[in-house]
Amino acid sequence: MAWGATGDALPRSRRLCSAGGAAPGEGSSMDTRNVQTGPGLVFDVSVAGEPGAPLVLLLHGFAVSRHLYDAQVPALAAAGYFAAAPNQRGYSPGARPDPQDRAQYDIGLLIRDALDLAEAMGGAGCRFHLVGHDWGGSLSWEIAAHWPHRVASLTMLSRPHPGAFARALADDPEQPTRSRHHKAFLEPDAVPKLLAEDAAWLRVRHKAQGIPPAQTEKHLAVLGNAPALEAALAWYRARGTVHRPIPKIEVPTLFIWGDADDTVGRMAAEGTVDFIEAPYRFVELPGVGHYAADQVPERVNGLLLEHLAAHPV
């Protein structure tokens, strides 16, 4: 059964905001569920934990999938949270509008998907913890900026605040080179190039950034086909090269950045502090690349759980 946008497949008691949560260790095994948020929008979601527990919504970025959080979802459940990591719009076959219709991949709709998933998983109007990486991080910054009353805490992996990123693009000579793939993804033949020779570009990038081979296979099972990849690139094509500004963040924020990240330089990462007006912690991981949750899962788990405990729902 697909869960409705208002959580109608859950008992009513499970749809209320919870001040407590499941006992540590309960419901820690991970499952995959189909979550429907509207017509033609059924998302594949990794879940673990008791639905009445505080929700942690984890949003992935490009070149990966919900499997980026395979180590975090059960760890969160074991600590008493209800964790949900969806394949986002275009990545889930049941939530894949025509990628040629770029309006269907407008950032406003992508944000709405995330909020609707939070509604479906955690109950209407409830506060939740938000974790974002890469493109999922872009959505998470927007949600924290514009819906701070809904977000108990924000954990960011790799993606700097848009203000810090824009400043780095202008002032850091290396950042435009690090971000050159954004323009390449706008080319009409980007998908066949990325999938050529058994998705060699994706495999090489994953390996260089420390993703274990088994995790690469999981991500390619989601993304390594033309329909899914066209939809994933529609995120870039709908946005183009313009990154809209957002307000400063008033939500407690943890920013995890690896100094071997090939897309985000030090200026953008360290500059994020200037755009946070709330408790803030910046953690640099030496030798870690763009996909810390896959590369050093135990380190990410420890930092994440500590941050959530310090800022309860």
Compute the CA torsion angle 45, 46, 48, 54 (nearest 10 deg).
-50
The per-residue pLDDT for range 176-185, each reduced to its tens digit, is 777 666 677 8
pLDDT attached to residue 3: 34
Query: In this model, does residue 308 exceed pLDDT 80?
Result: yes
The per-residue pLDDT for range 86-105, each reduced to its tens digit, is 999 999 999 999 999 999 99
The per-residue pLDDT for range 242-252, each reduced to its tens digit, is 677 899 999 99
Mean pLDDT within 279-283:
98
What domains are defined for the chain? 24-310 (3.40.50.1820)
Query: In this model, does residue 175 exceed pLDDT 90?
Result: no
**Sorting pLDDT into bands at 50, 70 and 90, what band is 1?**
very low
Tell me, letter by letter, the H, E, C secondary structure of 210-276.
CCCHHHHHHHHHHHCCHHHHHHHHHHHHHHCCCCCCCCCECCCEEEEEECCCCCCCHHHHHHHHHHE
- Average pLDDT over all residues of the chain: 90
Q: 230 versus 244: which is more confidently predicted? A: 230
Contact 55, 22 (CB under 8 A): no
